[in-house]
Amino acid sequence: MHSNDQKKIRITFLGTGTSIGVPVIACNCAVCKSPDARDKRFRTSVLIKVDNQSIVIDCGPDFRFQMLKQNVEDIDAVLFTHEHRDHIAGLDDIRAFNYILNKNIPIYGSSNVMEAIKTEFPYIFAESRYFGAPQLTIHEIVNEEFNIGPTAILPVQVLHNKLPVFGYRIGDLTYITDASFIPEEEKEKIRGSKVLVLNALRNSKHISHLSLSEALALIEELKPETAYLTHISHFLGLYEEVEKKLPQNVHLAYDNLIVDLE
């Protein structure tokens, strides 16, 4: 099933925050006022480098800043996990890649995602298209392995309350955000991952996200070599304090963290 195991993969965390980011506007809590850069979180997104390709998962409202911060000069595709605005709202900023590189950018997502994008960005798809609109090549995916160039991508379908969301397994990396439940058959796709990225919103239970204790229980069950927690709210606590309490193989991800898989 995992036809591209053992690949060299680099994952850069572009954003590790929840839908309103951290710091939260107008909030005076210790996390939002923290001077530690690891407590400042853009909306959740990653850049994956594999097989000489650069693949972004999700482009939320901070996409432009994330690309500039990492000095990204080319991307080969954008993968979407689901259609919520904190995961699609930055799509218009793809235009810069269109102009500079003179190419369409392929995007991959479920039929739900593509419908939402057509509703949110109707001018991209208008018959009399504005010449400056983003130029996309749309690939609608289902819960079956597909390829981006030489890279095999295995969707992992999880539930965000009742909304289906795709996580993705690429070689020995599995990336899952916005999950509150993972069905047994989908867990089988995750097993054997060297690195698992999983959402952990806060300490208390939430209807559509894993809490910290629920995420840790899943990690214990699935047994990746290393796990990184993402989609973190200010309610989880200060990076330095939470990190100390985690199991040895589990870490809080933070913006601009780079992890290499050999």
Per the domain annotation, does 1 fall within a domain? Answer: no
Alpha carbons within 13 angstroms on the beta-carbon side of residue 221 total 12
Report the relative pairing of strands 195-199 and 226-230 from DSSP bridges.
Answer: parallel
Q: pLDDT for 201-240, tens place per residue? A: 999 999 999 999 999 999 999 999 999 999 999 999 999 9
pLDDT at 127: 82
Per the domain annotation, does 21 fall within a domain? Answer: yes
Per the domain annotation, does 182 fall within a domain? Answer: yes
pLDDT at 164: 97
Per the domain annotation, does 64 fall within a domain? Answer: yes
pLDDT at 4: 44
Q: Report the alpha-carbon distance of residue 13 to residue 4 in Å, rounded.
A: 22
Q: Determine which helix (DSSP H) or strand (DSSP E) holds 164, and give its type and residue range.
A: strand 163-170
Instruction: Output phi, psi for 99, to 5 deg.
Output: -65, -50
- 99 CB contacts (<8 Å, ≥6 apart)? none
Total domains, the chain? 1
Q: 107: which strand partners?
A: 78, 138
pLDDT at 262: 84
Per the domain annotation, does 142 fall within a domain? Answer: yes
Question: What residues in the chain have per-residue pLDDT under 70?
Answer: 1-5
Task: Give the CA distances from residue 181 to residues 159, 176, 209, in Å, rounded to whole numbers and listed in that order.
Answer: 5, 11, 8
Per the domain annotation, does 25 fall within a domain? Answer: yes
For residues 200 and 231, the answer to whether their CB atoms sit within 8 Å is yes
Structure token pair of residue 247: 């199991």
Per the domain annotation, does 3 fall within a domain? Answer: no
Domain extent for 52: 9-261
User: Tell me, what CATH number does 171's domain have?
Assistant: 3.60.15.10
Per the domain annotation, does 84 fall within a domain? Answer: yes
